[in-house]
Structure 1
Amino acid sequence: MLASVDSTSAQAARLAAAGLTSPAWVLAGEQTAGKGRRGRPWASPRGNFYASLVMQPAEPPEQVALRSFAAALALREALVGLTGLPQVFALKWPNDVLLNGGKLAGILLESTGANGRLGNLVIGIGVNLTTAPDPAEVEPGAVTPVSLLAETGLRITPEAFLDALAPAYARWEAVFTTYGFAPLRDEWLRHAARLGQTIRARTGTQTRTGIFETVDATGALVLTTPEGRVAIPAAEVFF
């Protein structure tokens, strides 16, 4: 575990660039330049979980991206195993884990490559183990952030969390590489937040409102809207 780093994903990318040829986790007690989706700053106080997994996947880029579902399932499995509270955790498309309806964890995938081939994949994961950002700091309409400690009373160290997460991810990685996306999709949908309910999906150009019907075989969000059924490959979801 690194005491402090700019970001675990940046450090993982540096390891890959230096010639790393096998999967590796990078764990840090503090990040000085952590980031979330769309480059937003990710608050990184000590006590929370900041880690990244770097690997060299063999699949085409569109399949590699489906590992966000493997990461979400592994996160939920680790959390349930550590807390014994399966009923309080849900998965929010595309890459968040919820606790009692609040945002507990986020996942960010970054990759490098050239000529249509992917070289390295970095899966960055942040979990609010002890503290959560001030709700005033998040985007209006976004899910309120929560911490594991405040919601459950359980204090779990980053090291202990990685001890649970790493083997959980390895199991889902094995399922994905052996059987493909279908079993991950089925399990993810069993724990999906707001499935069958009305949600909003915002892309860079428009916002669609509809009933969250499913996730399709490509990982896209499928909504039933007044204009018909639509598959959305990337968006921010609001409840």
Structure 2
Amino acid sequence: MGWPEGYGRRVLAEIDSTNAEAARIMPDLAGPEWICALRQTAARGRRGRAWVAPEGNFAATLAMRPKETQDVVAQRSFVASLALYDAFAMLTGAEAALTLKWPNDVLLNGGKVAGILLEGLPGGGLAVGIGVNLIAAPGPAQVEEGAVPPVSLLSETGVRVTPERMLDALAEAWAVREHVFVTYGFAPIREAWLARAARVGETIVARTGTRSVTGIFETVDARGHIVLDTPQGRTAIAAADVFF
């Protein structure tokens, strides 16, 4: 396992949030840089939700300046999902127990073990925020009703991984998947993601801020949108929370 060439690496004892730190360092960033915090005091998940992160769990952000248009940049959530999948498989050997949940979660034995948060930064920057339940998972009271129950890597595999080791594995896996994405586009990333996707062919619920759509999960299209077969016909949804 080696640190990928061209990527910066910083491990901080404590920070408010790694995505916030990414925004602070963006003006002086010479190239993509991983920021890992051993403790966060103001961690955030999607839609501004609090992210519960006990010490020993993993919190990191890749700060970068992508060159693509915004719709293509958003497809890096799939790059991140695949990189997490690869890193977990490498660290635990539990490849068969891992699946990917649209749009940005990794599941282990059906429970949520990791989440991803992409945020645009000033000056065309991007923060790819990643949280992993390495040793502990939030309790039921800390999880949205109906959401996939969280699990930890330790509880499900018996493998104890430090944040620093997780960072090294993830950075290596990301560099490989990012190279494919930049070189060949979204198509091979989409194909690899769908091969590991959770609940394809099953009925799911996609909730946006204004509506709830129930249908059979058919595929992810060339834009990264989830496609559901509903009683009203095939529906492609750009952004939503998915419930099983």
Structure 1 and Structure 2 fold alike (TM over 0.5): yes
Number of residues of Structure 1 aligned to a counterpart in Structure 2: 234
Pair 1:185 & 2:190 matched: yes
Distance of 1:35 and 1:136 partners within structure 2? 17
The aligned residue for residue 99 of structure 1 is 108
Distance of 1:44 and 1:145 partners within structure 2? 12
Other structure's SS at 1:155 match: coil
Other structure's SS at 1:76 match: helix
The aligned residue for residue 39 of structure 2 is 30
2:90 to 68, 77, 81: 81
2:12 to 2, 27, 35: 2
Other structure's SS at 1:160 match: helix
CA-based RMSD of the aligned residues comes to: 0.8
Q: 1:21 deviation in Å?
A: 2.5
Identity %: 62
The aligned residue for residue 170 of structure 1 is 175
TM-score calculated relative to the size of structure 1: 0.97
Point out 4+ residue stretches in structure 1 off by more than 6 angstroms.
Answer: none
TM-score calculated relative to the size of structure 2: 0.95
Q: Deviations over 1:120-163 (max 9, x none)?
A: 00000000000000012111100000001111111000001111
Distance of 2:148 and 2:141 partners within structure 1? 11
Unaligned runs of 5+ in 2: 1-10
Unaligned runs of 5+ in 1: none
The aligned residue for residue 194 of structure 1 is 199
Pair 1:49 & 2:58 matched: yes
1:228 to 208, 228, 233: 233
Other structure's SS at 1:182 match: helix
Distance of 2:29 and 2:157 partners within structure 1? 38
Aligned residues of 1:104 and 1:147 also touching (Cα < 8 A):
yes
Other structure's SS at 2:219 match: strand
1:146 to 151, 157, 167: 151
Q: Deviations over 1:184-209 (max 9, x none)?
A: 00000000000010000001111010
Distance of 2:66 and 2:242 partners within structure 1? 28
Q: 1:7 deviation in Å?
A: 0.5
